Chains A and B, each alone.
Chain A
Amino acid sequence: MIELLQNLIMDYTLRTVAMGSGILGIVSGALGSFAVLRKQSLLGDAVSHAALPGIALAFLLTGSKASPVLVVGAALAGWLGTFLILSITRTTRIKNDSALGLILSVFFGFGLVLLTFIQRQPYANKAGLDKFLFGQAAALLESDVLTMLVLGSIVLLLVIIFWKEFKILSFDPDFTASLGFPVQLLDILITSLLVIAIVVGLQTVGVVLMSAMVVAPAAAARQWTDRLGAMVFLSSLFGALAGVGGAVISSMTPRLPTGPTIVLCISALVLFSILLAPNRGLLWRWAAEQRNRRKLQIEAVLSDLYILARQHQGTEHGHPIEVLRTMSIGHGGVDRSLKELKTRGWVEQKADGNWVLTACGMEQAIQISDRGETSA
């Protein structure tokens, strides 16, 4: 553990990769929250693919492989792709999903043409561009991380400045418009921030897996809270944890690529949240269902005994467990229910083994049957 911490601080590669992945997680986690709430989960997928031709064109035009130059190209192309998707869905009857798939594949295909074109030019090699395709966290330089840090800070700062506007826009765009906010401008702003957040992460996890970094932290965070502030914070935290965790794990294991490892880490967090988050988590839901079922089973036995008592005029007459079992066909658990009722003192077992309601149980049973009648 101490060795690991030492490595995190001393080892240049690990430090750079971990910092880069952490920044990526924080930024995409924050912006991803808005994307998921605004039903744009898959926009990240499209934007990250659409960024490819921008990267290639930026290189073709400037001849530079410096990451700020490529990031600008990627952002412009990603932004153009997003704009096209939105305008196709707005002006035609083509639905959002088709527009996403179309722009994603066409832009990516065009990027591929440019990449292969560059590769066959005598003066250039595209070695540095490939890392955007699949992500090469290990190739991150300190200058890359600096670019990510600057861009990420700007993005987060803007989110804080426009917090109120983004919040209302995410939940009720019509209301936002009626209050006089420039909805279209805000829409463009928040989408642009998402594009930047995605582009920032491309170098680390690559085009294909970047979409997971947008969706997953937000989906995990959503399970824990209903408040936007808490969700954005948790989402960033999850993103950062997965980023740093994935970077560390992949650095300790030979031949374990960083991008996919980060994605598996964040997906594990999603699974954990979906199962265990309080209130919404599947396990809690299951436990609540079990509790409810037990309660209904117990009440069923109690009212069965009550029915029998009424039929036999009085509570002295005992009833064998077999009768109760027959009456409870379909919901079962008679033995356990009787035991529970006995500890509550609502039923008692006579000397001959038959069951009978106590006075207290009688009262309860009448209450239950009254409740049933009024609600029916």
Chain B
Amino acid sequence: MTSAQFEIQLIAVVVAIACALPGVFLVLRRMAMMSDAISHSILLGIVLAFFLTRDLTSPFLVIAATLSGVLTVSLVELLNRTRLVREDTAIGLIFPVLFSIGVILISRYSGDIHLDTDSVLLGELAFAPFDRFIIFSRDFGPRALYLMGGIMFINIVLIIMFYKELKVATFDAGLAMALGFSPALIHYGLMSMVSITAVGAFDAVGSILVVALMIGPPASVYLLTDRLSLLLILSSLLGAAGSIMGYWVAHLLDASIAGSISSMIGLIFLAVYLFAPDRGLIAIARRRRRQRIEFALEMLLVHLFNHEGLPEAAIECHIANLPEHLYWELQFAQRVIRSGEKGNLLLNREEILFLTSTGRERAQKSILA
């Protein structure tokens, strides 16, 4: 592994963690698409600041871009407050406008600079190590690493400092208001965090990867845990793992790193979506099956109980007659019987079913319930 490769992976991991932290709150607060809107409309801020400073590395660019992210949020709010359009419609109206203005400005006035829409949208992580942070002709490493490292640090510090406030405001907005936390302040604070992170990440990884890293890991972990602290930690870890895996896949295929990381995030989500212990598709399907059998068993017990000791018991409780009497497939009936035998609730004597004492108790209980 060359030092450039190491640096790329390090940057990717830092970006992943920096994005996952505010992303958790976006997912919980149902504002995930805000990340998409912000990551697009920061283009306008970057372009405007560039025309003023003529310098692509100026810190002023970061400030202006962050401001345009916050502008997006406030315009959406403004439009939303007229109650003429719904919130998602407002998002869909605002960010294309800002993005369009940015694109038009670029193509009209930027004949000679290397600022183009491709690099904003797509990013190219492979170039990040070439942009060095140099002071007094000493090389301190890639610039993106410092920028994103700083942003990650700020995000971590802010979340730790305002953990309680964020938690209350996210899960119980009414309580937060009653306790005197300003919802607007928290909303805009969080949105500023998202903006700064998106801005820092844009030239390294592109705006689409920002969305993937902000939404993908928290959405995956959301299926695994209910604890906010675990959500934050696991999301960061998943994002970091996806970044490293994505890097090596891109390396193998000689393809876009940002795209490959997004794809990996998608695969991770798919795996969680299928296999999550409680909320995964497979777990849900198995639970449904089990519940179906459990319910059927209860029905069978009651059926046996009703005919117990009566003359017709030999017919009613004969296995061959169950399909007709309970409208079951024979195969299903046999599965139910097996599960009853395993639980020691009924006995099978020459194809006629009898309740055990525990089975009788259970049947009585379900009739009373």
Contacts and interface: CB of A to CB of B under 8 A. Distances in A.
Interface of A: 36, 39, 41-42, 44-45, 49, 88, 91-95, 97-102, 104-117, 120, 133-134, 208-209, 211-212, 214-216, 219, 222-223, 255-257, 259-261, 263-264, 267, 270, 274, 280, 282
B279 interface: yes
A215 B93 CA distance: 7
Contacts of B261: 109
Given A39-B88, A260-B103, A112 B262 contact: yes
B23 to A, nearest CB: 9
Given A88-B273, A93-B279, A101 B96 contact: no
Contacts of A264: 97, 100-101, 104
A260 B100 contact: yes
Contact of B266 (A44, A110, A255, A274): A110
B4 interface: no
Contact of A108 (B27, B33, B84, B208): B208
Interface residues of B, number: 61
Which one of B89, B214, B218 has the greatest number of beta carbons of chain A within 10 Å?
B89
A106 B216 contact: yes
Contacts of B151: none
A17 B86 CA distance: 32
A100 B107 contact: no
B208 A267 contact: no
A113 B247 CA distance: 11
A270 B89 CA distance: 12
A98 B215 contact: yes
Contacts of B107: 255-257
B35 A101 contact: yes
B208 A42 contact: no
Given A94-B222, A100-B32, A208-B40, A112 B88 contact: no
Q: Label chain A's interface by main secondary structure.
A: helix
Which one of A94, A100, A267, A270 has the greatest number of beta carbons of chain B within 10 Å?
A94
Given A104-B211, A264-B100, A267-B100, 5 more contacts: A106-B265, A109-B208, A111-B259, A270-B93, A274-B85
Closest 10 CB pairs of A and B: A109-B262, A112-B259, A106-B266, A212-B96, A260-B100, A105-B212, A215-B92, A101-B215, A113-B259, A105-B211
A109 B205 CA distance: 11
Contacts of B208: 49, 104-105, 108-109, 112
A97 B265 CA distance: 17
Contacts of A113: 250, 253, 255-256, 259-260, 263
Contacts of B104: 256-257, 260-261, 264
B130 to A, nearest CB: 18
B93 A214 contact: no
B131 to A, nearest CB: 20
A100 B34 CA distance: 11
Interface in B28-54: 30-33, 35-36, 40
